[in-house]
Chain A
Amino acid sequence: MTAAPLLEMAGISRRFPGVTALDSVNLRVGRGEVVALVGENGAGKSTLMKILGGVHQPDAGEIRLDGRPVKIHNVNDAIRLGIAFIHQELNVLDNLDVAANVFLGREPRKALGLIDRKKIHADTGPFLQRLGLAVSTRTRLDRLPLAHQQMVEIAKAMSLHARLLIMDEPTSSLTLSETNRLLELVCELSGQGVSVIYISHRLGEIDQCADRVLVLRDGRNVGELARGEATHDRLVSLMVGREIKNFYVRSDAPRTPGFFKVRNVRSSLFPDRTVSFDAVRGEILGFAGLIGAGRSEMAKALVGLEPSPAKEIVLDGKAIPIHTVREAIERGIYLVPENRRTEGLVVEMSVRENVSLPSLKRFARGGLIQRRRERDAALRQVEALQIKTPDVETRVLSLSGGTQQKVVLAKWLAMRPRVMILDEPTRGIDVGAKAEIYRIMRALAAQGAAILMISSDMEEILNVSDRVVVMHEGQITGLLERADCNEQNVMQLAVGRKIAAAKPPFET
């Protein structure tokens, strides 16, 4: 048979006004091979993939499939050639059932143009089986967890006879076990001869599933590592082009136990369960658990975004009532929410307007905003956090994910947090920006705040937290001290098992 790999992209260049997004990039994917594509945001990964999807045309270079040169002008060309995309944001219609999604846009018709429902359900079944997805083809997508919705998208790709699957940060919204299942699936697919290009910021996953890792930086190939060679340090230094020292910072900042006591928080998701724990001043307390364990809801109930009438909060020895988020904010208890674009920021507004939003009254006299003071405060934050924005008047919309996250942090840092709850603080953020966010969190803890960090990224939980609280179905299953923090322990607790190393999350 032919020795040509399934896909070869050779010398691909693409310029945009003012930037060279890709500079003769090469990418080769063999049949059944899993190639991880990594690089910081802006390294050119998505441009390269958009060229494969026909969204952009290369200025130079050649794409060969099975050794034959091809031109991809649009998405339909890509589909015809057997290239399918699984995007970070799911592309499903959650008001339709599984089969309708799989056959969306190419529904078999009966007489009168009606959809042949029997056929689409019959044809969808085998694909679900192949992926090991045990749901009915008649289930509406909004009844399914995100991970299953994603599987439906993969099933759709399979039904299109995809030979090359491009997965762009597929695990960013998945729980640990779902992530593992997806990684298994990637291996299975590759065993079935499907090739995968896997894009992720999570280096642990890449280690698990990729045969080869291709690193891009500033639109160029900067290295290629085979499985086994791709250590965390080597990848990071290739991606950022320098050694990042102290990626995870620890500190010996003074700790005050019993600084922040939380009792009986109840969230809407698990109304018959309560959460109680203590946090220490100066620490980063990690909150691990599967997605859906109720961590985000607990955080919202804690700060008064959800009603939780019976809860008791003690901060620095003083009991404080929190019925509304305003009350939490007045006490210096802030929540940096999970979705920065929908909850953390008003993306159409400027950096200045976003930074000042929670503290606007401080810049006002007689109800009127004093623009200069507001602007100065925003400028100070931009400088302090080294927020990469052309100007404080720039709309947040146009900033990168990592920069946006820093703007969210800036909103609260100006107001001297005493307790800062960060929900998935580095989701979808590149390695360089991650390191900065960790540094900011550490500095904040050192200044005498308690940091609660909810994270579904195991690496982050294990390396950033001083102690880890693990939640399962709305309850805390245990607290792990630094020495006992390892993946096994966290996973055991996350699925609700009891282990000896686990301690109670508060002193009675």
Chain B
Amino acid sequence: MKKELGIFILLVVLCAVTTLENARFLSPENLINMANIIGMFGIFGIGAGLVIVTSGIDLSVGSLIALIGILLIMALTEWHWPWPLAALFVLGVAMVLGWVHGFLITRFHMQPFIVTLCGLLLYRGLARFIAQDTTIGFGDLPGFGTLRSLASGRWLGVPMPFVLLIIVSIIMWFVLHRSVYGRYLLAVGRNEEAARFSGINTRRVIASSYVLAGLLTGISGILLAFYTNSVTPSTHGTFYELYGIAAAVLGGCSLRGGEGSILGILIGTALLQVLQNLVNLLGIPSSLNFAVMGAVVLVGVLADQIFKQRAASRTKSR
């Protein structure tokens, strides 16, 4: 709880500073726009966080999002599949690919970094090949209005991605913090050996985290495709895995595994998006966008580390 509090305070401070400098920060359009983006990034951020909890990492998120976008558009506009089938299809693809990652990692003891790095390269290449390296879009064909409004509509004025994020977060909060499965995830991340000796099927637990990450990335992928309305396979979703990882780490997930909080990931995601917004609203050259984000993540994690060391030396003075 303390950990989330620190970054929450940071978030509030950033919001306050931005508001003072430019009141447009609190305008309805800006807030709605931000909620929309936070929704899309938060969902796959939670997936990234779950994998990090098992002391793994998923670098393939951005490329997978591109592949999902391309496949979804193809299924709807070229192959004219009914939208429920198309949606299930892309979610299925995302989960199967996640399962393949998990399988390679648990069965052949490959390092998650390597497996998902190869995924990053592979899916980007596939996406570009399938789309023949051209931008493709949904156009204004009829037939999938329901999916479109599910992905990019509003509910009581709130953008659907944000609504979905809240739903996903609540479910995942119970999964990670209250369920047997969540406890197993944390135990496996902390000490896989001890978990195995306790009769936990560690391979299945670890592999399943990649499947879940795939599913959540798939959902985000659909939302993002409708958000941009067309997908350029060479650039769609690039670096998104790093947003997910940064948000999770800011939110208290340790890359050593066994530690993580859904609430923290949410705040971390929001923080990153507020930062981007701040860069725009404060007239900072947008070329500095990444630099600002890198600096803030660095300072945030550093402050947390120093705080933790202090606390540790206080309790362990013997």
Contact = CB atoms under 8 A, between A and B. Distances in A.
Interface string A331-367: 0000101000011111111000100011011001001
Contacts, number: 69
Listed from nearest, the 6 A-B pairs whose CB atoms lie closest are: A329-B199, A358-B198, A346-B191, A357-B198, A346-B190, A326-B199
Q: Which of A324, A353, A369 has the most CB of B within 10 A?
A: A369
Interface in B111-142: none
A321 to B, nearest CB: 15
A401 B195 CA distance: 19
Nearest to B317: A17
Interface of B: 174, 178-181, 183-184, 186-187, 190-191, 193-201, 258, 315, 317-318
B179 A367 contact: yes
Contacts of A343: 193-194, 197
A353 B196 CA distance: 15
A364 B198 contact: no
A331 to B, nearest CB: 11
B158 to A, nearest CB: 28
Interface residues of A, number: 31
Interface in A1-35: 16-17, 19, 21
19 contacts: A17-B317, A324-B201, A325-B196, A326-B199, A328-B199, A329-B199, A343-B194, A343-B197, A345-B191, A346-B187, A347-B191, A348-B191, A353-B183, A357-B187, A357-B198, A357-B200, A358-B199, A368-B180, A398-B315
Q: Is the interface of B mostly helix, strand, loop or mixed?
A: helix
A201 interface: no
B195 A357 contact: yes
Nearest to B316: A398
Interface in A240-272: none
Contacts of A442: none
A19 B180 contact: no
A217 interface: no
B195 A346 contact: yes
Interface of A: 16-17, 19, 21, 305, 324-326, 328-329, 335, 337, 342-349, 353, 357-358, 360-361, 364, 367-369, 398, 411
B267 to A, nearest CB: 23
A346 B194 contact: yes
A358 B196 CA distance: 9
Contact of A361 (B180, B186, B194): B180
A368 to B, nearest CB: 5
Given A21-B318, A349-B186, 5 more contacts: A325-B199, A328-B199, A346-B190, A348-B258, A349-B190
Contacts of B190: 346, 348-349
A369 B179 contact: yes
A305 B183 contact: no
